[in-house]
Amino acid sequence: MSAPTSTHPAGTFTPPPTPALSVGPIVLATPGRAVDLHLRVTAPQSGTDLPVILLSHGQGHSNHLSSLNGYAPLVHHWAAHGFVVIQPTHLSSRTLTLDPETPGAPLYWRSRVEDMTRILDRLDEIETAVPQLAGRLNHDKIAVAGHSMGGHTASLLLGARLTDDGQEVRLAEPRIKAGVLLASPGRGGDALTEQIAENYPFFLTTDFSSMTTPTLVVAGDQDTSAHMTVNGPSWHADPYHLAPGPKSLLTLFGGEHGLGGISGYDVAETTDENPERVSAVQRLTWAYLRSELYPGDAAWQLACEELAAGNPPAGQVESKPAP
């Protein structure tokens, strides 16, 4: 049996959901890391040649959000519609309670990226560790997604760069073919608050001009992130506006940093709880990745048409082609 296609009933663009399994923690022995790398894998129970999404969690203030156990609304939807989702617990997770003096603390921006490349290097091992999954992944159809600080992680894998201690850092991962940035940080420089600029100088030099991998940027038009930026909600659209195409931007009307509640079904941090908004994120992100990884698939076009036909619409999409 092959991976589910986007064949769909008339009037919809998403195929019927299929049962999924979720296994975690899977522990990858990781010498040199402060602790071994823990993962959760969520996958369709059936199907072969399955595409993969690496999902990077945000910094968060709750254990549920900032670990392998977060983002169930997105993870369950993606897995029920044909993707294998792999979620690491980054060293920044509050579940780990690491010594504040651990190198890279507290945001571990470089370690986060290393976690994702390590997952790609050890996909065979991960497959073997999950019952019924061995041999079912398509190692050539890989995407990355990230929320908030996880969006910063994903952007570096997609080609964004920064300067650290005077050295330009490029961590683009060519095995990743598409990405989704959810309420992701924007540009540095004078867009940052004084506190962020002083305490997290790596944010100052974020440069999206080299982020060439196809990417969907998702931003809420009420996501001020006032602790990080002086530019208001438009800051989260920077990865779209400042990167070369092909890129798409989904602006969610009324959306705040939680984008309606994507981080969990019961997360106190969500300030804009809205099931319809979460559904829009589920469906549009799935459709975008489906069409990017399977050229010619109509899911993204149909999803955009459905969004525009909403009464009222949950948001709007704009896109730009490759140069």
pLDDT at 65 (0 to 100): 62
- Listed in sequence order, the residues at least 6 apart from 16 whose beta carbon sits closer than 8 Å to its beta carbon are none
Q: What is the DSSP letter of 134?
A: T
Mean pLDDT of 102-106: 90
- Dig out the tokens for 184 from the structure: 């992701």
* pLDDT at 62 exceeding the cut of 70: no
Helix and strand totals (H; E) in the chain: 8, 11
Q: What is the pTM of this model?
A: 0.94
Sheet holding 84-88, edge to edge: 20-28, 37-44, 84-88, 50-56, 137-147, 178-182, 215-220, 247-252, 315-320
Mean pLDDT of 284-297: 97
Q: How confident is the model at residue 264 (pLDDT cuts 50, 70, 90)?
A: confident
Express each pLDDT in 110-159 by its tens digit.
999 999 999 999 999 999 999 899 999 999 999 999 999 999 999 999 99
Express each pLDDT in 211-244 by its tens digit.
999 999 999 999 999 999 999 999 999 999 999 9
Q: How confident is the model at residue 165 (pLDDT cuts 50, 70, 90)?
A: confident
Express each pLDDT in 106-116 by its tens digit.
999 999 999 99
Q: How confident is the model at residue 10 (pLDDT cuts 50, 70, 90)?
A: very low
* pLDDT at 61 exceeding the cut of 80: no
Q: How confident is the model at residue 95 (pLDDT cuts 50, 70, 90)?
A: confident
Amino acid at 298: A
Partners of 52 in the beta sheet?
84, 142
| Mean pLDDT, all residues of the chain | 92
Query: In angstroms, rounded to a whole number, what is the distance separating the alpha carbons of residues 110 and 79?
Result: 28
254: left (phi over 0), alpha (psi -120 to 50) or beta: left
Q: Which among 97, 92, 70, 85 has a CA at the least distance from the CA of 22?
A: 85
Q: Which among 224, 202, 257 has a CA at the least distance from the CA of 60?
A: 257
Q: How confident is the model at residue 278 (pLDDT cuts 50, 70, 90)?
A: very high
* pLDDT at 23 exceeding the cut of 80: yes
pLDDT at 64 (0 to 100): 53
